[in-house]
Structure formats: structure tokens, C-alpha cells
Amino acid sequence: MNKQLAIGIDIGGTNTVFGIVDARGDIMYRGALSTSTNERIEEFIDDLYEAIKPAIEKAGGIEKIKGIGIGAPNGNYYKGTIEYAPNLNWKGVIPLTELISKKFKVPSALTNDANAAAVGEMMYGAARGMKDFIMITLGTGVGSGIVANGQLIYGHDGFAGELGHTIVLPGGRLHWGTGALGSLEAYASATGVVLTAKEFLAARKDEASLLRDISEEQLNSKAVYDAAIKMDKIAMEVYEITGKILGMALANFVMFSSPEAIILFGGLTKAGNLILDPTREHMEKNLLPIFQNKVKLIFSQLNESDAAILGASALVWELKNE
Amino acid sequence: MNKQLAIGIDIGGTNTVFGIVDARGDIMYRGALSTSTNERIEEFIDDLYEAIKPAIEKAGGIEKIKGIGIGAPNGNYYKGTIEYAPNLNWKGVIPLTELISKKFKVPSALTNDANAAAVGEMMYGAARGMKDFIMITLGTGVGSGIVANGQLIYGHDGFAGELGHTIVLPGGRLHWGTGALGSLEAYASATGVVLTAKEFLAARKDEASLLRDISEEQLNSKAVYDAAIKMDKIAMEVYEITGKILGMALANFVMFSSPEAIILFGGLTKAGNLILDPTREHMEKNLLPIFQNKVKLIFSQLNESDAAILGASALVWELKNE
């Protein structure tokens, strides 16, 4: 039978990964290319086409492909455009699905990377069978995808779900990119964790820490994690305060859409209970009683690179009735 | 033709209002009774039945009535129950739709009062034709109803949309009922406005204000409004700070569901631009650029007592395909 396969593409600031996926969510072929080396979007799409072409051939040709789903930062579902993405080379408004469909000659759909992850989780991961959940990606930045009544919330303009940019501590830490003071992303991202560690080290100069052996340039979120699992007090407290702030923010999200679960995804979740325990504690503490002890706070069940491909490919099946 | 009419009931802490409404949203008969005088729910429903019965007779009998829609604090849409409503006499979990349907012998549906107002606004008010909007009720408390993809968001458990209880200033003002620190309702409600005025008066003892002529017991939100329109500096600043906090909170809501409009409703909106201008300013200021200058911030077009009845009755038409 024809058109049983979907291509999933996840465009990140540095790398782009892709796969050819069947309707059960098995990735048959996969690959990757650099995102950042192409200054012009047209060149990137040429490179992307050349990279995927051999996999399409192996899968039986383009007539087997129902469509292409793409996840990308600032991806707009309604318009199929990437708009003003700070971490990509291509500035302004990029008509991505138009360019992709023209090149590959199949329909395509775009959403932001966190929405793609939420769709992937709903079809193949921890959110199977759920109609109301929130996906929070804790990576270099903080992204989110919100599902209510079984549907992704895109909002009026296709940009809904920018929970990383909600203000959680008014007048708080300056965000390096947006200029906002006290947004969630300024704290609960890998970047935020490193900034918190640096603040703690500067403010508590008399306190020993394994983190003091690391140069300022090499102090990344993995180093904080490595120190925390060795019971380094400052590193552990970095996770506690990060979880406290994240938990407060999650409580607000729960009182908005009352989800069955919040699914955490991305690099920061590697810290396991170091981040999960304080997050859960402070989420519960800030909830109205009618919401307490109801919301599952869980990690994604998909591995990170697969989730990105699966989530993007799932957009193709989502589109099947349109 | 039969069953063209709906009964809308709005149960408030003090009074209950009701009306018989046709499908165009015209209220044919209306009435009211006391909520607070009945200690037992069964007695209240008996009184409600006696109060509505003459109107049902005038409308042509119960066979003309398709159903009853009810808005009530802590009303749960899925279960038809009122659960632990702090401002009602009836404690615990009240199976309201079961009791109402048994007494009136027609189907009934329940939601919280702010959700009912949102449905009313969508069918008959400022949100006609909108698929994505948020209704915020600024009364004694702060309530909310959220519509996304053309549907009310009830969440997993039917309690979604408690935006008044989201934390906007962590560690801030103690909420008199919930014990939370810094929730939106502690500031952006009639109660919050009075508390802010009292704080300002206490902190700025050397500054003259019309509000100083009013006894502590008589200082209510209307007194603050009356002073503000007479250009009283402290009273005007009460609205400014209230709008600032409300605006910050609205920015967070916009980055959640990216609505076409936020519709403000309830007593506080009588202050007009005194509250609207600072709210809009600080909402815009806290939004990511992709959301700026897009969201309509408007007042409800329904008058308050009609909106309550219309919104509740609209639940009946919402249920028509179930």
C-alpha cells in the first residue's frame, strides 16, 4: 500500500535530525545534517533533500511518503513559517512548508519543536491515551506543548505554548535573549542552571565546592550534575532552587488547564530525582487543594533524538483528515 | 415547537438569579432568590423550584424546556457537582445536577460561574465568532473561563481555569481564603483593591487622600473608585498597581494559550480606563515580541445579571449534540 510512511524532521540550532517513520512509530531510516553551516534557507533545503533522498529511495520512493512533518524553533503551525527564530541563521519569516513541499513534492506540516514532542508523546510515549497534558522541554531553553481536549493548543496565531517565557519571579534574573526579568527559562534551562551555580559560587566564597575546580568556561550543566551526584552541597542546592522555581511555575500551569500529567523532557531530566523531587514538592505546595495530588509529574518515555523525529512525523498522521 | 427554551441559573454566595431564555439569547422571564438562607441543599432546590415554577407555567410548561444550565462557584462540569465551595453554605461535594434534574425532570448541566460567563460571551457577547479567548471575572474574587479551539477548557478533572489562584508575586500578599502568598485574586479583586488602598494609606501617612475621610469598615472598592475619579492620587495609584499586577498575569496567560482576546468582566471593570490602561501597558510589556499588539483586551458586552443567566442557559445549547 502506498503513502504509509512519514518523514519526521527536527530542526535544531546546531543539527537537524530526520527519519522515515511508519504508522506504528518505528523509525526505519534515520540521519542528520548540520543546520548552522547554511546561511541561506534554500541551500539548507537542498542539503536536506540530498541527505534524505537515499533513505526515500530505500523506503520505496517518494510515492510511499504521505508527507513531511517538521519541528523547529518558532515554527508556526497555521502558516507553516519559522518566524524570527533567535537560534537559527535564517532571519525574519521563512515560508518553510512551502519550500519543503516544493522541493520534495509531498505535503508538509510544521510546528514548534516542543509541540512536536508533545504530539510524539501522545502517540508513542508517556501520554498515550491522555486528552489533557502539558509537555515541558528542559534543554538549552525551556519549551512547551499543551494538549487540551485531545488537541494541541495552537492559539489564535499558532504561537501558543511559550511557557518558558512566562514570568515566574517578577523583577528576577535578566534573560540573555529576550530581556525579560524573571522568566522560567532564565532558571529552569541548562543555561539557567549554570547561571544559578555561578551565582551561588560567587555569593558563598567561603564554602568549598567541587565546582570551584572547574574553569568558568567549562562550568556547564553536566558539570553541575556530576558534582551534585557526588553530594556537593552547592550543586545539590542548584537543583533544589531550580526545582522550586519550576514547581511554582508548573502549579500555575496546572491551575490554567488542569492536565492529567506534566511530562518533562530534555537534558535537565537526566538529573532524575535531583530535579523531580523539589519540582513536585513546590508544585503541590502552590496548588489549590482541589488540584493537589492529582497531577502526574513524569519524565518522557521517548529517547531524545527519537522523540524529535517521531513527534515531527506524527504531524503527518495528525493531518490525515484535513 | 417544543423544547426551544432553556433555563439559566446563576448561583452566587448571596443570591441566585435565573431566567428562561430562548435560542437567540432573549431572556423571557427572570427572577431571583436568596442562596444564603438555606442551610440544606434540598431546601434550596425546593425553594428554587417554587420560584421558577410560575415562569415555567407562563412559558408554556416544562415540555417547552430543553434543559437547565447552572453556573456556580466550584461547579464541576464533568461530574455535575459543586465541590468544597468556600462561599456557599453546602459543604463537601453536592451532586447538584442530579438533584436539579430529579426535581425539575429535565436534563441539566453545571459549570463554574466564570466558565458560564465565557460561554455566554461566546454565544451572545464580545467573543462571538472567536475560537480562542480568555474571560476574566474581576469581582469579589477573580474567576476565569478559557476557550481554545472553540471549546471551553475543562481539563482532566473539570476544574481547569482557576487563574485567580495562580501565583503572580511569589511570597506576596496572603490570600484571606486559600493561604497562598501572592495569588492574582489577592490583588486584582474588589477585596484586593481595598487591601491595596489600606496598605497605601498606612504606608503614606503624611499624604492627604479622600479615602482618609472614610471609616475602615466603609472603605470598599466603590469608595476607591469614587476617590479615583476625583483625581485622588492614592486611589488612582491603587488602580495603577492593580493594573500592573493584572497585566503581568495576563501576559503569562497569553503566552499559554495565545488568545485572540481577553475579556474582562465584573465589578472592577466599572473603573474603565483607570484599570484598563495600566493593565494593557503591563500586559504588553511582559509579552514576547511575537505576542505583542495582537491580543484584544476588552470589557464584556453583556450586562452583569443577564450575562450570568445567559451564560448558564447557553450550557443547554452546548449540550445539544450529546
Q: Is A40 exposed, middle or buried (0-12, 13-18, 19+ CB in 10 A)?
A: exposed
Put simply, whether A247 touches B (Cβ < 8 Å) is: no
| Mean local confidence (pLDDT), A284-307 | 91
CATH number assigned to the domain covering B129-300: 3.30.420.40
Query: Which one, of A43, A108, A39, lies nearest residue A72 by Cα?
Result: A108
Annotated domain spans of chain B: 5-120+305-321, 129-300
Closest CA in chain B for residue A184: B252
ipTM exceeding cut-off 0.95 for this assembly: no
CA–CA dist A11, A308 (Å, integer)? 9
CATH number assigned to the domain covering A130-300: 3.30.420.40
Domains B5-120+305-321 and B129-300 share a fold: yes
pLDDT tens for B35-65 read 988 889 999 999 999 999 999 999 999 999 9
pLDDT tens for A151-194 read 999 999 999 999 999 999 999 999 998 999 999 999 999 999 99
Where does residue B146 fall: left (phi above 0), alpha (psi -120 to 50 degrees), or beta otherwise? beta
Put simply, whether B168 touches A (Cβ < 8 Å) is: yes
pTM: 0.92
- CB atoms under 10 Å from CB of A116, counted, come to 36
How many helices (H) and strands (E) would you count in chain A?
A: 9, 13
Chain B hits for A180, Cβ within 8 Å = 286, 288
Question: With pLDDT > 90 as the criterion, what percentage of chain A qualifies?
Answer: 80
CA–CA dist B6, B309 (Å, integer)? 10
| Mean local confidence (pLDDT), A225-241 | 97
If contacts are CB pairs under 8 Å, which of residues 264-293 in chain B contact chain A?
A: 286, 288-291
User: Given a cut of 50, is residue B8 above it in pLDDT?
Assistant: yes
Chain B hits for A167, Cβ within 8 Å = 248, 251-252, 286
Interchain contact, B165 vs A74, CB within 8 Å: no
Chain A hits for B259, Cβ within 8 Å = 155-156
pLDDT tens for B257-313 read 999 999 999 999 999 999 999 999 999 999 999 899 999 999 998 887 788 899 899
Which helix (H) or strand (E) segment is A302 a member of? none
CA–CA dist B166, A288 (Å, integer)? 9
Chain A hits for B132, Cβ within 8 Å = 155-156, 160
Question: For testing the chain A interface, which of B156, B165, B241 should be mutated: the one with the most A CBs within 10 Å?
Answer: B156
Beta bridge partners of A262: A134, A297
Q: pLDDT class for B320, splitting at 50, 70, 90? A: very low
Please tell me the predicted confidence (pLDDT) of residue A16. Answer: 94
If contacts are CB pairs under 8 Å, which of residues 184-243 in chain B contact chain A?
A: none
Chain A hits for B162, Cβ within 8 Å = 255, 258, 288, 290-291
Amino acid at the residue A158: G
| Mean local confidence (pLDDT), A138-150 | 93
If contacts are CB pairs under 8 Å, which of residues 58-117 in chain A contact chain B?
A: 74, 83-84
CA–CA dist A311, B294 (Å, integer)? 29
pLDDT tens for A45-82 read 999 999 999 999 999 999 999 999 999 988 999 999 99
Report the CATH superfamily, name and number, of domain B5-120+305-321: ATPase, nucleotide binding domain (3.30.420.40)
Put simply, whether B149 touches A (Cβ < 8 Å) is: yes
Chain B hits for A260, Cβ within 8 Å = 156
